[in-house]
């Protein structure tokens, strides 16, 4: 599923949101510089805002976590829909390759995937100016994948231990996702 409408507007909003999150004490588990923390939060905010546009288009009522980062290290969820916690995870697309079932994703063990009902996995492509959502998976399913320290597809080291799985295990049917949350 590709979201390309309002990409520039989403990026502007995401930049403002990321800067406020870091200013208000967003926790950096990687000990990153302020600039790097903003960049990381910015990417996540783009994914969340794009997914929010999708929910609005589908007329899905939702709530976002309004965590005060001056008192909490991280948020509990990105979206709450009918008591179901949804976490949006995107990465910056840096290759010309189309995402595939062979790509792997590492979900940070410390973020306790079993506390999320659903996790949506996608990417941000700044060249084509869109956000893509490849599929979704339950937090319980993620919890059962092995914890590793190195990405099995690309070979880079994770900064923290991650439950890793191939993108091929993701359910790509977003109509089914909507049916399960409403």
Give, as one character, the DSSP assignment of residue 169.
G
| b/e code 125-151 from CB counts within 10 Å (16+ = b) | beeeebbbbbbbbbbebbbebeebeeb
Q: What is the pTM of this model?
A: 0.88
pLDDT in tens, 147-174: 999 988 888 898 889 999 999 999 999 9
Strands 130-138 and 2-3: antiparallel
Give the sign of the dihedral formed by CA 120, CA 118, CA 157, CA 43. positive
Top-ranked range on mean pLDDT: pick from 31-45, 63-77, 107-121: 107-121
* Residues contacting 179, CB < 8 A, separation 6+: none
Report the percent of the chain where pLDDT is more than 90.
Answer: 59
What is the phi/psi pair of residue 104, to 5°?
-120, 150
User: With 70 as the cut, is the pLDDT of residue 69 above it?
Assistant: no
Element at 74 (helix H, strand E): none
Tell me the three state secondary structure of residue 101: coil
Return the minimum-mean-pLDDT range out of 34-38, 60-64, 176-180. 34-38
């Amino acid at each position: 599923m590709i979201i390309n409408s309002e990409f520039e507007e989403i990026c502007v909003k995401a930049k403002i949101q990321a800067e406020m999150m870091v200013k208000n004490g967003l926790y950096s588990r990687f000990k990153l510089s302020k600039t790097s923390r903003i960049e990381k939060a910015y990417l996540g905010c783009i994914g969340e805002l794009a997914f929010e546009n999708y929910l609005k288009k589908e007329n899905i009522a939702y709530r976002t976590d309004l965590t005060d980062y001056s008192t909490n290290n991280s948020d509990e969820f990105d979206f709450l829909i009918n008591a179901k916690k949804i976490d949006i995870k995107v990465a910056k697309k840096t290759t010309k390759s189309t995402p595939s079932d062979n790509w792997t994703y590492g979900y940070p063990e410390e973020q306790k995937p079993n506390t999320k009902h659903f996790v949506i996995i996608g990417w941000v492509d700044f060249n084509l100016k869109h956000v893509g959502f490849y599929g979704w998976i339950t937090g319980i399913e993620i919890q059962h994948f092995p914890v590793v320290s190195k990405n099995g597809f690309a070979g880079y080291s994770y900064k923290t231990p991650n439950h890793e799985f191939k993108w091929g295990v993701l359910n790509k049917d977003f109509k089914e996702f909507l049916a399960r949350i409403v």
